[in-house]
Amino acid sequence: MASQIPFPIKKDGLHIQPGGRYVRGFYKGNWEGLPSRYEEILAFARKEGVELTGFSYEMGINENVADRVEDYIVQIEIPVLMP
Protein backbone atom coordinates (compact mmCIF):
# COMPACT_ATOMS: atom_id res chain seq x y z
CA MET A 1 0.00 0.00 0.00
CA ALA A 2 1.19 3.52 -0.77
CA SER A 3 -0.14 6.93 0.15
CA GLN A 4 0.89 10.43 -0.72
CA ILE A 5 1.71 12.71 2.17
CA PRO A 6 2.11 16.48 1.90
CA PHE A 7 5.45 16.57 3.72
CA PRO A 8 8.28 14.07 4.33
CA ILE A 9 8.15 11.97 7.49
CA LYS A 10 11.12 9.93 8.70
CA LYS A 11 9.82 6.80 10.35
CA ASP A 12 10.86 3.15 10.35
CA GLY A 13 8.99 1.17 7.74
CA LEU A 14 8.19 4.14 5.49
CA HIS A 15 9.65 4.39 2.01
CA ILE A 16 9.85 7.71 0.20
CA GLN A 17 9.82 7.68 -3.59
CA PRO A 18 13.14 9.17 -4.67
CA GLY A 19 13.39 11.99 -7.16
CA GLY A 20 14.80 11.33 -10.59
CA ARG A 21 13.74 10.19 -14.02
CA TYR A 22 10.91 7.71 -14.43
CA VAL A 23 9.14 5.87 -17.19
CA ARG A 24 5.48 6.67 -16.66
CA GLY A 25 2.43 4.87 -17.99
CA PHE A 26 -1.27 4.93 -17.29
CA TYR A 27 -3.77 2.11 -17.13
CA LYS A 28 -7.56 2.27 -17.19
CA GLY A 29 -9.63 -0.75 -16.24
CA ASN A 30 -10.02 -3.50 -13.70
CA TRP A 31 -7.02 -4.96 -11.92
CA GLU A 32 -6.81 -8.12 -14.05
CA GLY A 33 -5.40 -6.15 -17.00
CA LEU A 34 -2.73 -4.29 -15.04
CA PRO A 35 0.06 -6.89 -15.58
CA SER A 36 -0.28 -6.53 -19.35
CA ARG A 37 0.29 -2.78 -19.02
CA TYR A 38 3.50 -3.50 -17.10
CA GLU A 39 4.59 -5.78 -19.95
CA GLU A 40 3.98 -2.92 -22.41
CA ILE A 41 6.04 -0.54 -20.26
CA LEU A 42 8.90 -3.07 -20.01
CA ALA A 43 8.79 -3.65 -23.78
CA PHE A 44 8.93 0.12 -24.36
CA ALA A 45 11.96 0.42 -22.08
CA ARG A 46 13.76 -2.43 -23.88
CA LYS A 47 12.99 -0.94 -27.30
CA GLU A 48 14.28 2.48 -26.26
CA GLY A 49 17.36 1.07 -24.48
CA VAL A 50 16.22 2.41 -21.11
CA GLU A 51 17.40 0.48 -18.05
CA LEU A 52 14.85 0.38 -15.24
CA THR A 53 15.77 0.02 -11.58
CA GLY A 54 14.19 -0.09 -8.14
CA PHE A 55 10.54 -0.21 -7.17
CA SER A 56 7.57 0.56 -9.36
CA TYR A 57 5.06 3.04 -7.98
CA GLU A 58 1.32 3.00 -8.59
CA MET A 59 -0.98 5.88 -7.79
CA GLY A 60 -4.74 5.76 -8.18
CA ILE A 61 -5.79 8.83 -10.12
CA ASN A 62 -9.55 8.61 -9.70
CA GLU A 63 -10.27 5.69 -7.39
CA ASN A 64 -12.20 7.86 -4.94
CA VAL A 65 -14.63 9.12 -7.57
CA ALA A 66 -14.93 6.26 -10.08
CA ASP A 67 -18.23 4.41 -9.81
CA ARG A 68 -17.03 1.28 -11.59
CA VAL A 69 -13.73 -0.59 -11.33
CA GLU A 70 -13.55 -0.51 -15.15
CA ASP A 71 -13.17 3.28 -14.91
CA TYR A 72 -10.21 3.25 -12.49
CA ILE A 73 -7.11 5.04 -13.77
CA VAL A 74 -3.73 4.10 -12.31
CA GLN A 75 -0.46 5.95 -12.90
CA ILE A 76 2.57 3.65 -12.99
CA GLU A 77 6.11 4.99 -12.54
CA ILE A 78 9.34 2.99 -12.72
CA PRO A 79 12.73 4.64 -12.06
CA VAL A 80 15.25 4.88 -14.88
CA LEU A 81 18.90 4.05 -14.18
CA MET A 82 20.95 7.10 -15.09
CA PRO A 83 24.46 6.60 -16.55
Whether this prediction's pTM lies above 0.85 is answered by no
Residue 1 confidence (pLDDT) above 60: no
Average pLDDT, the chain: 89
Q: Examine residue 10 and state whether it is found in any structural domain, yes or no.
A: no
pLDDT of residue 3: 67
- Residues 20, 32 contacting (CB under 8 angstroms): no
Count of domains observed in the chain: 1
Reduce the DSSP state of residue 1 to 3 states and report it. coil
Residue 4 confidence (pLDDT) above 80: no
Q: Report residue 7's pLDDT band, with 50, 70 and 90 as the boundaries.
A: confident
Domain span at 69: 31-79
pLDDT tens, position by position, 11-50: 787 888 888 999 999 999 988 999 999 999 999 999 999 9
Q: Examine residue 36 and state whether it is found in any structural domain, yes or no.
A: yes
HEC secondary structure over 24-76: EEEEECCHHHHHHHHHHHHHHHHHHCCCECCCCEEEECCCCCCCCHHHCEEEE
Q: Examine residue 12 and state whether it is found in any structural domain, yes or no.
A: no
Q: Examine residue 1 and state whether it is found in any structural domain, yes or no.
A: no
